A and B are shown apart, each in its own frame.
Chain A
Amino acid sequence: MSILKLHYDIDGSDFTRAGEASGKVKRVLKKLGLDAEAIRNVSIAMYEGEINMVIHAGGGEIDVEISSELVTIVLTDHGPGIEDVSLAMKEGYSTATDNIRSLGFGAGMGLPNIKKYANEVAIDTKVGVGTTITIKIYVPDCSAEL
């Protein structure tokens, strides 16, 4: 089985480019002809992770592995880490600053959305060291359609 690997360095200093990597992945998945719902799930989950990485952790790296059955997204940063993961996963919990909120972020919905759209999420984080979030999205076989 073929596996396609994609790598993105996420610049934490340029907020205006946040979300570009997930946009690129979406375009690749469309060209691959993956199931539309899986594409949507990947785009949303990765987008939220990418934005968090820029807003809360000063950037990082994203590795995406795509096969015909599974998309795995690994987001690695060396930011402040998350103190209380179960609290961070709660809808509405956010430590975003006012100027970030004025851009429409900071509703505390990012991590809950990742959980909603992903089939598996694992958060590995250590305060002062960084955070690694692994997201898995299953791809249904859609070759029968169209």
Chain B
Amino acid sequence: MNVLNHSVRLDEDKCKGCMNCIKRCPTEAIRVRNGKASIIPERCIDCGECIRVCPQHAKRADRDSFDILANYKYKVALPAPSLYGQFNNLDDIDCVLTAFKMIGFDDIFEVSKGAELVSEATRLLLKRGELKKPVISSACPAVCRLIRVRFPNLISHVLELNSPMEEAARLARIKAVEDTGLKPTDIGIFFITPCPAKITAIKQPIGLEKSNLDGAFAIKDVYPKLLAQMNRLDVTGNLRDSGIIGVGWATSGGASAALLRERYIAVDGIENVIQVLEEIEDEKLNNIDFIEINACTGGCVGGVLCTENPFVARSHLQHLRKYLPVSCNHLEGEKVPKAMNWDTSLKAISVLKLADNVEDALDLMKELNTIAERLPGLDCGTCGAPSCRALAEDIVRGLALESDCVFYMRDAQGNPSFQGLVPPPFRKPPKKEETP
């Protein structure tokens, strides 16, 4: 597996080398060097936090251009349920789905269909009681990657079922082959995505050898195209084939509610997510059956490639739900199809370890602590690392120098005139007058 194939990218020309992104990254994967941010690929989980926070819009999600549609004879769009939340005053999902057929797609297959099937499969597996509790949802790829990097001992809790996106794609291709008689490779299956994490999950699948998708377009790129068509629609097709359960996956709590159980937690927003993962690790949540985890605030409607505010989108969806049946998709014979299961478990990535063996790591940690004590503890970021401790770690890993810290500069240069050269916040305080 290639861990370096990310979809969060830096636009060097736009980057001014500020400190906003390094502070927000949940895996401390960004450093600023020579005036530009750089992402440490082994650590990046593609959560998109840096895209959200960059004032220069220098971080972007690498996504497909609509030109690639030309490579396929038959194109199927797979809208994420979060797409429906973007539209104000939408009464009928069919309007959105019909519009897809006017912007270059031959068919649509709702990801909420996949979500309803995954919900049913999860219900079955929980009932059988074979899963390690609390079961952690695996639909958010940013969360799966976070677990791999920061919480590898929780890997055995992760639900090893296809995400709704992958399940929908698998079924969409089967249906398209049946409908058209074309070869599977002539069919293009495209996800309409709320986030870069899902794009990476196509290039670098989670639990699968190969993704069932051929590409992804961002909700915010598709939205204006759809809107233009929706405004001039007279008739809409009967395309919607999912209900409250499937569409509910767009917001935090939807995947949990679909399990029809009480002992669950739905956590969203990367900081809350980290806290809850810590608690699972410390066995404080052993009485919980299921934990739904979304990296984005509010769930996928909070994805960085959405157009609408997540809280507003949630209210749009509440309005839409009123007209929907509970669920439209069910597993045949109450059995989890083999193809819905993952091929492989998540694999731990041990990028956080200081050294391969504990003895060496102990020596480095001692050195790290000594250096960290010498550093001022301001976490100002001017050294390019997110915190003083992170700089100390970079130093012992041989990636930075103590002289990267402005304070080191100030104090090591005994020359008092040097004081004037450092910025005001970092100058030495004047000596206090002795009070008798």
Residues of A within 8 A of B (CB): 1-4, 6, 23, 26, 28, 30-34, 36-37, 39-40, 43-44, 47, 66-68, 139, 142-143, 146
Contact = CB atoms under 8 A, between A and B. Distances in A.
B354 A32 contact: yes
A52 B386 CA distance: 33
Given A36-B152, A36-B153, A146-B348, A47 B282 contact: yes
A139 B362 CA distance: 13
A28 B369 CA distance: 10
Interface centre among A30, A37, A47 (most CB of B within 10 A): A30
B361 A44 contact: no
Interface centre among B153, B282, B393 (most CB of A within 10 A): B282
Contacts of A36: 152-153
Nearest to B361: A32
Contacts of B363: 2
17 contacts: A2-B362, A4-B365, A6-B369, A26-B278, A26-B282, A30-B352, A31-B365, A32-B358, A32-B362, A33-B358, A40-B281, A43-B281, A68-B358, A68-B359, A142-B358, A143-B356, A146-B350
B353 A4 contact: no
Contacts of A33: 350, 353-358, 361
A43 B284 CA distance: 11
Contacts of A1: 359
Contacts of A26: 278, 281-282
Interface residues of B, number: 24
A44 B286 CA distance: 13
Given A40-B281, A40-B282, A31 B354 contact: yes
B283 interface: yes
A121 B145 CA distance: 37
Interface of B: 150, 152-153, 278, 281-283, 348, 350, 352-359, 361-363, 365-366, 369, 393
Given A3-B362, A43-B281, A68-B358, 16 more contacts: A2-B362, A6-B369, A23-B278, A30-B352, A31-B393, A32-B353, A32-B365, A33-B354, A33-B357, A33-B361, A39-B153, A40-B282, A67-B362, A143-B357, A143-B358, A146-B348
A82 to B, nearest CB: 24
B358 A31 contact: no
A47 B152 CA distance: 21
A14 B366 CA distance: 29
A43 B361 CA distance: 19
Nearest to A44: B282
Contacts of A23: 278
